[in-house]
């Protein structure tokens, strides 16, 4: 039922313009088409639309100013979002879309929009608790300064300021209080996540979450939102790495838009270039920058593009921050789109043992010295599909699990639960890697698969391999030299196979490790190292085992002509 149609015309207008526009990305059209579906459901009386709150919030924005003192003028895309949040209601009158995700390039006015939403909640919601989180105080202060400028520069707040009804604390902890309503705003940087406990936030804004080290502060704030009128809004731009809360929220949004997940209360709005767009062509830039020509100028954007084109170190940053494209190759690494093709191929593979047991297979080990990751990889070859299929297991000492979750990636806990990473335990209390876990898994696999050969680093795995040889003597164990002349052609062939899209690998741990890779060239020799070698939290163990397993498999399998022809320019490998 339509109770009050204020703002509904803006929603419909934006939907029509977006669906007809060549300057809108496919994913953006999918977002607005989803809202069009909700309008249909309103007409079927499944939900209500009430523009009363929309009218109030649009009116409030008309009284706000930015940090320069200029009045804030809402663009149609912003009105669409505000009307969507505050217009659609459940049949009991509650806000339908209380979980909002805005994914947009930098300098498009998302923080200004969010700051206005905070002020609305501060003024209109009784006993409101508004929590804003950001990477650090400097980032948090951007939204805070917009709010303070609006309060001090608007006639709407003049009387309240004169009567000391508004309190502003401009030093940490940054705070705004509106006494007549009993409402407050607190800004908490991610580095102070412990301060986020104990709140029952009516409005929570998580700003630039792709820059967060973990989702700890998000979890703490969101878990306290128990009021029926509570809203959470998540804002971010893409980043130059794939292991962050923003990326995981983005992937969740894609699955909801594709119908793989169901979340009636979720409103995603995504602006990015399409996959096939030329990233250097400025005619595509509007797709990621709906405020282009207003808050962001094309000339400045093309100047940054030209600089990035001349300096590859800045290329990934330009793609991420200005075009809103995820990138993991800021330092000459493996492009995330290249690896995404391997993931998609991996999702089509049936990992049933009956299928894999019919395929030739080679294995590789990368063993840690004491307490780090150990990797065990299998590579299979499907001659019918002409693809390589990867299967991995990773191991860490049980004692190191919690510290690695905090220092490396919080996804590690999920990977353990899903069986991708296996914690080992021994008489030391789980402080060192127990290689018996790896040996047992390998021996079980020899009974399950056609393992032809095993590659290993002779320096670290000699004793371990002797144990395996006793248990499975029919398999060939091949010491794999780590010298440039041996590793380079192996690295080259694996990377070329990635780029050709003939590797099937949907393992989430591998996706993280691939994002940590930096490609280095020394003459004609290619080798892989961590993007930041000094950053111990980065891992590429699975890449190393993949390279070795594929190289050995390549040298052992028969009927290889079709794939070999594609790689005829790559140096042959003799092991």
Q: How far is CA 90 from the centre of its chain?
A: 30
Strand order in the sheet with 175-178: 166-169, 175-178, 183-189, 129-134, 203-207, 231-236, 99-103, 266-270
Per-10-residue mean pLDDT of the chain, 575 residues long, equals 96 98 97 97 97 95 80 93 97 96 94 87 90 85 85 83 90 90 91 80 92 87 88 93 87 94 96 94 97 94 91 80 79 76 93 93 89 91 94 92 74 89 82 90 95 88 88 91 79 92 95 84 69 60 94 78 38 39
* Predicted pLDDT at 330: 47
* Predicted pLDDT at 573: 40
Q: How far is CA 313 from the centre of its chain?
A: 21
Q: Pairing relation of β-strands 450-456 and 476-479?
A: parallel
- What is the rounded distance in angstroms from the CA atom of residue 88 to the CA atom of residue 85? 7
* Predicted pLDDT at 559: 43
Give the helix/strand (H/E) hosting 476: strand 476-479
What does each C-alpha distance from 365 to 423, 435, 454, 529 come to in angstroms?
17, 11, 8, 17
- Upper half-sphere CA count for residue 304 (Cβ side, 13 Å): 19
* Predicted pLDDT at 572: 39
What's the pTM value of the predicted model, to 2 decimals?
Answer: 0.69
Looking at the DSSP assignment, which residues form a beta bridge with residue 169?
Answer: 175
Nearest C-alpha neighbor of 342 from the set 493, 487, 514: 514
Domains and CATH numbers, the chain: 2-270 (3.40.50.300), 352-503+537-566 (3.30.420)
- What is the rounded distance in angstroms from the CA atom of residue 25 to the CA atom of residue 46? 29
What is the 3-state secondary structure of 203-244? EEEEECHHHCCCCHHHHHHHHCCCCCCCEEEEEECCCCCCCC
Structure tokens at 73: 């003028």
Structure tokens at 515: 């994002």
């Amino acid at each position: 039922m339509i109770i009050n149609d204020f703002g509904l015309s803006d929603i419909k207008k934006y939907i029509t313009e977006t669906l007809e526009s060549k300057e809108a990305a496919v994913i953006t059209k999918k977002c607005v088409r989803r809202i069009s579906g909700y309008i249909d459901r309103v007409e079927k009386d499944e939900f209500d639309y009430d523009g009363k709150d929309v009218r109030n919030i649009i009116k409030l924005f008309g009284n706000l100013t930015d940090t320069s003192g200029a009045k804030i003028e809402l663009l149609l895309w912003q009105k669409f979002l505000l009307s969507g949040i505050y217009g659609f209601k459940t049949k009991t009158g509650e806000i339908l879309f209380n979980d909002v995700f805005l994914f947009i390039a930098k300098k498009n006015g998302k923080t200004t929009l969010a700051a206005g939403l905070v002020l609305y909640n501060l003024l209109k919601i009784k006993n409101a608790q508004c929590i804003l989180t950001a990477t650090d105080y400097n980032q948090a202060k951007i939204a805070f300064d917009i709010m303070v400028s609006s309060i001090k520069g608007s006639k709407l707040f003049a009387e309240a300021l004169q009567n000391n009804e508004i309190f502003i604390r401009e030093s940490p902890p940054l705070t705004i209080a509106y006494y007549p309503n009993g409402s407050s705003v607190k800004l908490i940087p991610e580095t102070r996540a412990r301060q986020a406990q104990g709140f029952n936030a009516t409005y929570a804004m998580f700003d630039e979450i792709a820059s967060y080290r973990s989702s700890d502060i998000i979890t703490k704030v969101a878990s306290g939102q128990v009021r029926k009128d509570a809203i959470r809004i998540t804002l971010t731009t893409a980043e130059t790495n794939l292991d962050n809360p923003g990326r995981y929220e983005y992937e969740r949004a894609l699955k909801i838009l594709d119908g793989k997940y169901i979340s009636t209360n979720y409103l995603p709005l995504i602006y990015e270039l399409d996959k096939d767009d030329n990233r250097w062509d400025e005619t595509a830039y509007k797709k990621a920058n709906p405020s282009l020509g207003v808050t962001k100028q094309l000339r400045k954007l093309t100047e940054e593009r030209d600089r990035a084109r001349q300096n590859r170190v800045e290329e990934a940053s330009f793609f991420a921050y200005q075009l809103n494209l995820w990138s993991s190759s800021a330092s000459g690494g493996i492009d995330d789109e290249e690896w995404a093709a391997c993931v998609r191929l991996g999702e089509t593979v049936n990992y049933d043992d009956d299928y894999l047991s019919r395929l030739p297979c080679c294995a590789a080990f990368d063993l840690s010295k004491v307490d780090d990751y150990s990797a065990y990889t299998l590579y299979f070859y499907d001659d019918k599909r002409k693809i390589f299929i990867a299967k991995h297991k990773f191991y860490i000492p049980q004692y190191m699990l919690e510290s690695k979750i905090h220092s490396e990636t919080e996804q590690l806990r999920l990977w353990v639960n899903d069986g991708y990473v296996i914690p080992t335990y021994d008489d030391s209390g789980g402080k060192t890697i127990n290689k018996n876990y790896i040996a047992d898994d390998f021996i079980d696999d020899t009974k399950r698969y056609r393992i032809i050969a095993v590659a290993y680093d002779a320096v670290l795995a000699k004793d371990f391999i002797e144990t395996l040889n006793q248990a499975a003597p029919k398999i060939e164990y091949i010491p794999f030299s780590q010298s440039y002349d041996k590793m380079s052609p192996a690295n080259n062939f694996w990377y070329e196979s990635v780029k050709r899209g003939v590797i099937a690998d949907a393992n989430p741990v591998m996706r993280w490790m691939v994002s940590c890779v930096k490609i280095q060239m020394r003459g004609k020799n290619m080798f892989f190292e961590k993007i930041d070698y000094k950053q111990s939290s980065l891992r590429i163990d699975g890449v190393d085992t993949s390279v070795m397993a594929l190289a050995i498999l390549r040298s052992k399998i028969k009927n290889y002509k079709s794939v070999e022809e594609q790689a005829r320019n790559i140096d042959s490998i003799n092991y």
